[in-house]
């Protein structure tokens, strides 16, 4: 059965429509299909969102919050189904899908609700009344690596702010979004507040970004596609939020706890088969610690051997598609050709399940800034080790990137680690293994993107500010 769009609160009939197969990357089998949308579908969805915007934008915040809390409860109610779906459509190990794919999405909504509760809609600034208003109709384009997490960050923040949404989920992993559509109907979210249009970038993404009825585009994906989105949105001067790629560095200081730093860095790099934009994929290690760090890394990497994602004990599943596998293997082959030394992993792999898109978790050493692997985002389970002589050199190496999304610092002295973290040109830095905090702003410097997601700052991305000059004394006056 082909899954249709969700427009104006109705799951549309997809009979007779062209479709896109959804493939399980663990074995290459087709597990479902979604309709291949087009510009006419986008027009209908934008029209529905436009119609819904007026009443939704004036809905009291308490009611918006109640709807978002109901969405979170729906995710929890369907947790096992969502986890199994995510595992099947993009390869996340089932335990990881349950905790990180679904669990983090629920936590996203809780933090956004807290932000909405604290929101001050009107304030006096100088001699003006300043009002925060919803930006309007939002086009949300989400990726395949953490699809549910990204849907909730964008949709949750937008509708709490009073916006309406047209969501285009990734065609690689769209089945979880279809379940979200079911949840929205279960909770009786008003028709047109959230619309879901399936399809690829050409058929749906491009006409959605350029649509004159869309006021804002929020996109998560590759830097290359992000540039295209920004260019297309510029034609109508839309507000744009972009969360793009990363090539994040972990700096291990000379007093860092060896085992803890190794386990944490490898977890950051290898979790979700390395398909994490904020993964710490470059580790910078003092010259005197390199041999010990390498030996420990090889030992720990053995625990990340690929397995069937349906097994509870699997740490590394397949990457999301055979196309992604081929891209990752091309990066590995280039690194070997350019002189990087393989400590573990590489191009050879025995597939846990036949026909799967597996990549062996790989660690390279002797990696220098002249190599492509030092700079290019692989988006697979590939870690590089580079040695340094001084802290200044380590900071320079960490900042030697067009990206600036994430990073880490390891030291037995947290204040020493903080001093180094403050010198890193990146949107987030974890000290001694601290991971994603969905209550704090997440986003990047440089070519890692524009804007922030999560918590208060993610909520505020979907607001516009209006200054009413001469009205400061009227704050609180509803007349």
Is residue 183 a part of any domain in this protein? yes
Catalytic position from the list 243, 377, 453, 461: 243
Q: What pLDDT, on the 0 to 100 scale, is given for residue 476?
A: 67
Residue 339 and residue 404 in one domain: yes
Q: Has 243 been annotated as catalytic? A: yes
Is pTM, for the whole model, over 0.85? yes
Q: Hunting for tokens 């585009």 — which residue is that?
A: 217
442 occurs within a structural domain:
no
Helix (H) or strand (E) holding 108: helix 103-118
**Residue 478 belongs to a domain:** no
* Tokens read off for 289: 């610690």
Residue 441 counted as domain residue: no
Task: Quickly list DSSP for 183-240.
Answer: HHHHTTPPTTSEEE----IIIIIHHHHT-TT--EEEEES-HHHHHHHHHHHHTTT-EE
The residue range of the domain holding 179 is 2-244+448-469
Separation in Å, CA 11 to CA 7, 14, 174, 185: 7, 9, 14, 9
Residue 387 within any structural domain of the chain: yes
The token duo for 274 is 């390395």
Q: What share of the chain is helix, strand, coil (3-state, %, to 5)?
A: 40, 20, 35
Domain co-membership, 194 together with 298: no
Q: Rounded distance, CA 438 to CA 329, Å?
A: 32
- What's the pLDDT score for residue 4? 98
Residues 51 and 71 in one domain: yes
Q: Are 198 and 35 in contact (CB under 8 A)?
A: yes
If asked whether residues 185 and 41 sit together in one domain, one would say yes
Q: Comparing C-alpha atoms, which of 19, 10, 11 is closest to residue 37? A: 19
Q: Does 326 lie in the same domain as 403?
A: yes
Looking at the structure, tell me whether residues 34 and 103 fall in a common domain: yes
Q: Is residue 437 part of a domain?
A: no
End-to-end CA distance of the chain: 54
* Cβ-contact 354, 342 below 8 angstroms: no
CB 149 within 8 A of CB 227: no
Q: Which residues of the chain have pLDDT under 50?
A: 479
Buried b (16+ CB within 10 A) or exposed e, 165-186: bbbbbbbbbbbbbbbbbebbee
For residues 38 and 88, state if they share a domain.
Answer: yes
pLDDT of residue 477: 59
d(Cα 463, Cα 247) in Å, to the nearest integer? Answer: 30
Strands 30-35 and 19-23: antiparallel
Do 261 and 343 fall into the same domain?
yes
| Helix 79-90 × helix 147-160 angle, to 10° | 130
- Shared domain for 287 and 420, answered yes or no, is yes
Whether residue 272 contacts residue 91, with contact meaning beta carbons closer than 8 Å, is answered with: no
Report yes or no on 438 lying in a domain.
no
For residue 239, the domain's CATH number is 3.40.605.10
Same domain membership, residue 273 and residue 240: no
Q: Is 327 left (phi over 0), alpha (psi -120 to 50) or beta?
A: alpha
pLDDT value for 350: 80
Residues 230 and 283 reside in one and the same domain: no
Has residue 443 been placed in a domain?
no
Residue by residue, DSSP assigns 394-449 as HHHHHH-SSEES-EEEE-SSHHHHHHHHTTS-SS--EETT----TTS-B--EETTE
Closest alpha carbon to 205 in 446, 20, 393 = 20
Same domain? 338 vs 463: no
How many structural domains comprise the chain? 2
For position 258, which CATH number holds? Answer: 3.40.309.10
């Amino acid at each position: 059965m082909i899954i249709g769009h969700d427009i104006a609160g109705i799951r549309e009939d997809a009979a007779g429509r062209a479709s896109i197969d959804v493939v399980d990357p663990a074995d290459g089998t087709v597990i479902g299909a979604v309709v291949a949308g087009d510009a006419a579908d986008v027009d209908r969805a934008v029209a529905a969102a436009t119609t819904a915007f007026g009443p939704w934008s004036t809905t009291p915040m308490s009611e918006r919050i109640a709807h978002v809390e109901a969405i979170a409860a729906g995710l929890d109610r369907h947790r096992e189904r969502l986890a199994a779906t995510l595992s099947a459509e993009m390869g996340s190990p089932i335990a990881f899908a349950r905790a990180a794919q679904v669990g983090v999405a629920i936590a996203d909504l809780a933090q956004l609700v807290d932000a909405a509760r604290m929101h001050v809609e009107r304030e006096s600034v100088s001699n003006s009344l300043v009002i925060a208003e919803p930006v309007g109709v939002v086009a949300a384009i989400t990726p395949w690596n953490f699809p549910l997490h990204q849907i909730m960050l964008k949709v949750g923040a937008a509708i709490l702010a009073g916006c309406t949404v047209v969501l285009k989920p990734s065609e690689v992993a769209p089945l979880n979004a279809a379940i979200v559509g079911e949840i929205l109907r279960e909770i009786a979210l008003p028709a047109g507040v959230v619309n879901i249009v399936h399809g690829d970038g050409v058929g749906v993404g491009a006409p959605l970004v350029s649509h004159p009825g869309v006021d804002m585009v929020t996109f998560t994906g590759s830097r290359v596609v992000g540039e295209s989105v920004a260019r297309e949105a510029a034609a109508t001067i839309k507000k744009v939020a972009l969360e793009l790629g990363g090539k994040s560095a972990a700096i291990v200081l000379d007093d860092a706890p060896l085992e803890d730093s190794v386990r944490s860095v490898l977890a950051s790099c290898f979790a979700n088969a390395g398909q994490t934009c904020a993964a710490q994929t470059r580790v910078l290690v003092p010259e005197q610690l390199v041999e010990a760090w390498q030996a420990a890394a090889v030992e720990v990497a053995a625990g990340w051997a690929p397995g069937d994602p349906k097994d509870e004990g699997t740490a590394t599943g397949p990457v999301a598609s055979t196309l992604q596998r081929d891209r990752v293997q091309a990066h590995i082959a280039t690194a070997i050709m350019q002189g990087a030394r393989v400590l573990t992993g590489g191009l050879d792999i025995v597939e846990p399940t036949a026909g799967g898109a597996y990549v062996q978790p790989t660690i390279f050493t002797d990696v220098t800034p002249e190599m492509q692997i030092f700079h290019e985002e692989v988006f697979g389970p590939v870690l590089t080790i580079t040695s340094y002589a001084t802290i200044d050199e380590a900071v320079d190496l960490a900042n030697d990137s067009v990206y600036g999304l994430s990073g880490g610092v390891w030291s037995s002295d947290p204040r020493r680690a903080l001093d180094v973290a403050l010198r890193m040109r990146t949107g987030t830095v974890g000290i001694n293994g601290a991971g994603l905090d969905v209550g704090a702003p997440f986003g990047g410097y440089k070519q890692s993107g524009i804007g922030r997601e999560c918590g208060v700052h993610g909520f505020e991305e979907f607001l516009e500010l209006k200054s009413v000059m001469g009205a400061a004394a009227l704050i609180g006056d509803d007349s």
